[in-house]
Every structure is written in structure tokens, then in C-alpha cells.
Amino acid sequence: MIAISGLTKTFEHRTTLAGVDLSIDRGGSVAVSGADREGRATLMQLLATLVRPTSGTIVIGGLDAVTDVYRVRRLVAYAGPTRILPNRLRVDEYLRFVAGARHQPSAAAGIAADLVGLNRDVPIEALADETRGRLMLAAAIAAGAGVLLLDHPFDNLDAAARDRVCEWLVAARQNGTTIIVSDNEHVAGLCDRNVVLRDGCIVESSANAPLDQAVPRRELVGA
Amino acid sequence: MRAVMLREALVTARQPALVGAAILSATLLALFPVAWGVRGIPTFGGISLYDQQFRLEWILALVLMPWTAARVIATERGDDLVGLSALTAIQPSRLLLARLAAATIALVATVAGALPVAISAQQMSAVLASRLVADQLALLAFAPPAATITVWWMQMTTDRLLGWLGAAATTLVVAALARLSAATMNQAAVALMMLSIVAAAILIARADVWWRYLSERRA
């Protein structure tokens, strides 16, 4: 599903990713961890086609993420530190818009809002910054994409919402969604593979026990 | 595309500036005969109330249209537009096309809101109805240029106020140049509408390149 080869990204003479190679099958899940500024956020943004690689290739669903940016975006959904502007919309309207744009049923909006514990009728401008992070996660869930890229998805969730989201992620994986989670906490055991980034390189890659073996949810998210 | 159009229409319709501009425009036009009577401003000798009011309508359009468009359109620009494109998997060109359409419809609505006042001036001055129709169509034809100029400016600047000021100044200059090179303001409006289609086409054609990635500073 995802094949990354020799991926490098340099920002103003500072190399944040230095030749990353990684491949993930359809329905696979990878937890990316590492200290801050070691390249995790950049890797997620590159996979989300938000930034252009300096060199190397990213192939998602058989499409080149550099030459076919807009078709790749139909395959991926990203929840990370990007802004959502209110524009006088309510939570439900925003999520319905995302679901509609992604050709998902409008019910996906309600499900996503409930998963992250958002009141659907609240105007977005009334949400605190941390709650808008939840909205971003809900939007990515409502998008119903085949590849889910989650950058610190659990930061703004309470324990109950973490459980619900985690349970949903396990089900999504079983339905063939490929999931990449970038986080230092909460994700141990959530994914079937862990990779650790340091100085822009993968320094450690290990497999976990299959999730399907009913690991208690609270242990999955470390809540 | 349907989802984007609905969203842009909803965002635009929710802005108080839309109703405010329509009410302000209609009120000022309605107050004109109240202030000056059926003969209009005395120093404009020989010009009917309708003609004088139509001039006022143009001045209001030139001033209010960029402000209205700047206030009612969705606010994503630059990196926010890239983020929205990534989240929705919709190209920036389509997002901006929907925004242009929503802004144009909003401006058309503000002109249409003052139509009863224009009709009453036409009746008071006994001007031909065909003239009223032609004049109002010219005003409506000015909506796409004002919307295009404003969307261009709002995309190219990081500050909403600066975008509005730039759009207002550009609209005035462009309208003045068009008026100088055309026999009537109505002809100028039609010419500007044609030019705005070209300008909108350029913006849409380049949008997918200009707003493909986040700026490196943001990333």
C-alpha cells in the first residue's frame, strides 16, 4: 500500500529526514516514535502530500505522491497540527462537508464526532484550541480514506474517547485501512509495527503481536 | 464539487456582512429621493433623479462590493487552503472556483436587494423599463470582476484587512480605466466582466501549482 524509498527532506539546510525506507501493506499499521524534531512530523506531512520531498519516492496505492499529488490525497486522510478555520460553521456541518467531499455518507460525520466526544451542534469558533485538535481527528475519520495518518491523535482526547477511537482504529484496520500513528505515548501495542526515528533515520523497527488477539483497550492506548 | 459549493454557499450566507451590505445599499438609495426630492441634486441640472440615483448605485457598488466579498468568503488562504485541500481531497482550483461563484452570487444578491428602489426611481423619472433592465444588468455584470479581484487579493495577502484594501483600490482603478476606455459605464462593466473571466481562469489554472504544498516555513 505504501512504499517509501530513500526519502529525504531538507528545510533551509537542515536535514529532517535522511534516506527513510519503509513499506507498509494494506491494512498494516505502524507507530512512529522518537524525540521531537527527529523527523516524525515531517514524515507524516510528506505522506499526507503536504510537503514536497527533497529526494526519494513515496508510492501510495500505486501512485507517486510527488507527480500525482491530488490523486494520492484521495487515498489518504491526515490529522495533525493544521488549522481548521471556523467560518461560522458548526461541528456537524464541517464534518458533513468533509464526508461529502470524500463521497462518504453523511452519517460518517456523526459517527466521527461521537467517537472523539465532540458536540455536533457547537459552532467551531466556540471550540478551544485543544478541542479543535479533536475536530481534526474526527474529520480524518469521517474522510473514510484507505490510509489514515494520525499525528499525536490522542493528545486532546479523554480516556473514554481514546478507548472509542482505539477500538475504531482496530476495526478500521481489519477492514483494510492502513494506519500510521506518530506519537511517543499511547501507541505502544496499538500498531503491528513500531519504528523509531532519530536524526531523520529509522534506527529501530520492531513487530508487535497481532492486535486481533484481543488486547485490552486500555492497555492499547496506555490510558 | 457539490459538497464544496454547498459549503461555500453556507459560509457566505452565514456572514452578517452580506445582509448588512444589502440593507445599507438599499437604504442609502431609498434615502436619496427623501433627501433631495424628485428632482435630485440641484447642481446636477438636467439629469433625472433616476440618472443621479444610478450614479449613486455605481458608487455604492464600487465601494461596497470589494468589502462585501472580502467579508463573506471563506477565510482559508495559503497554507490553510493547502490543508483544506489535503483534508477534503479537493484541488485548490475547485475550492477557489466555488469561492468565486459564492462571492459572485453574494454580490449579485446585494445588487438585487436594491432593485425595488431602482424601480421606484425609474417610475418617478418615467425612464424606459428597458433602460432600467440594461443598467441593472450592467451592475450585475460588475459582480464577477469585483468578486475575482477580491478573491485574488485575499489569496495573495496574509492579512484580511490588507486584502480588502488592495481589492478596493484595484476595483476602483480598474473601473476607472475601463470607464475611460469605454463609451458608457454599462459597456465598461461588460468589458470588465469579460476580463474577470480571464483573470479567474488564470487563478484557477495556477491554483493547483501555487497551493500544492505548505510553505516550507510553516512545514
Q: What is the pLDDT of residues A201-210, one digit of tens each?
A: 988 888 876 5
Q: ipTM of the predicted structure?
A: 0.90
d(CA A177, CA A25) in angstroms, rounded, equals: 10
User: Binning pLDDT at 50, 70 and 90, where does residue A161 land?
Assistant: very high
Distance of CA A208 to the CA centre of its chain: 19
d(CA A189, CA A210) in angstroms, rounded, equals: 9
What pLDDT, on the 0 to 100 scale, is given for residue A217? 44
Range 77-136 of B in CB contact (< 8 A) with A: 79-80, 82-83, 85-91
pLDDT for residue A183 is more than 90: no
Question: How is B60-128 classified by DSSP, letter by letter?
Answer: HHHHHHHHHHHHHS----THHHHHHHHHHT--HHHHHHHHHHHHHHHHHHHHHHTHHHHHHHHHHHT--
User: Binning pLDDT at 50, 70 and 90, where does residue B40 land?
Assistant: confident
pLDDT for residue B218 is more than 60: no
Total H helices, total E strands in chain B: 10, 0
Distance of CA B43 to the CA centre of its chain: 30
Cell of B90: 479537493
Contact B14/A11, CB-based, under 8 Å? no
pLDDT for residue A109 is more than 80: yes
- Give the pLDDT mean for A174-191: 83
Q: What is the pLDDT of residues B116-146, one digit of tens each?
A: 999 999 999 999 999 999 999 999 999 999 9
Closest-CA distance of chain B to residue A17, Å = 13
Q: What is the pLDDT of residues B139-150, one digit of tens each?
A: 999 999 999 999
d(CA A130, CA A32) in angstroms, rounded, equals: 22
State what percent of residues in chain B have pLDDT above 70: 99
Q: Is the dihedral of CA A138, A82, A185, A191 positive or negative?
A: positive
d(CA A12, CA A34) in angstroms, rounded, equals: 22
Q: Which residues of A touch B204 (CB under 8 A)?
A: none
Q: What share of chain B is helix, strand, coil (3-state, %, to 5)?
A: 80, 0, 20
Of B82, B79, B7, B73, nearest in space to A101 by CA? B7
Q: Quick one: DSSP state of residue A127? A: S
Cell of B57: 448605485
Contact A102/B80, CB-based, under 8 Å? no
What are φ and ψ of residue A114, in 5° steps?
-65, -40
User: What domains, with CATH codes, occur in chain A?
Assistant: 2-221 (3.40.50.300)
pLDDT for residue A125 is more than 50: yes
The CB density around residue A213, as the number of other CB atoms within 10 Å, is 6
What pLDDT, on the 0 to 100 scale, is given for residue A203? 87
* Partner-chain residue, chosen from B6, B10, B82, that has the shortest CB–CB distance to A50: B82
Q: What is the pLDDT of residues B167-183, one digit of tens each?
A: 999 999 999 999 999 99
- Give the pLDDT mean for B93-115: 96
CB B61 within 8 A of CB B145: no
Q: Comparing A10-14, A103-107, B12-16, B77-81, which segment has the lowest mean pLDDT? A: A10-14
User: Binning pLDDT at 50, 70 and 90, where does residue B37 land?
Assistant: confident
pTM: predicted TM-score of the whole model, two decimal places: 0.91
Residue A148, classed as helix, strand or coil, is strand
Q: Which residues of A touch B80 (CB under 8 A)?
A: 82-83, 85
Q: What is the pLDDT of residues B184-210, one digit of tens each?
A: 999 999 999 999 999 999 999 999 999
User: Binning pLDDT at 50, 70 and 90, where does residue A214 land?
Assistant: very low
What pLDDT, on the 0 to 100 scale, is given for residue A210? 53
Averaged pLDDT score across all residues of chain B: 93
Q: What is the pLDDT of residues A55-95, one digit of tens each?
A: 999 999 999 999 999 999 999 999 998 889 999 999 999 99
Q: What is the pLDDT of residues B149-160, one digit of tens each?
A: 999 999 999 888
Averaged pLDDT score across all residues of chain A: 89
User: Binning pLDDT at 50, 70 and 90, where does residue A131 land?
Assistant: confident
Cell of B169: 483600490
- Give the pLDDT mean for A32-41: 87
Chain B residue with Cα closest to A149: B87
User: Binning pLDDT at 50, 70 and 90, where does residue B217 land?
Assistant: low
Q: Is the dihedral of CA B145, B147, B148, B150 positive or negative?
A: positive
Q: Which residues of A touch B14 (CB under 8 A)?
A: 87-89
Question: How is B22-49 classified by DSSP, letter by letter?
Answer: HHHHHHHHHHHHHHH-TT--TTSTT--H
pLDDT for residue A177 is more than 70: yes
What pLDDT, on the 0 to 100 scale, is given for residue A127? 92
The CB density around residue A85, as the number of other CB atoms within 10 Å, is 18
d(CA A24, CA A212) in angstroms, rounded, equals: 18
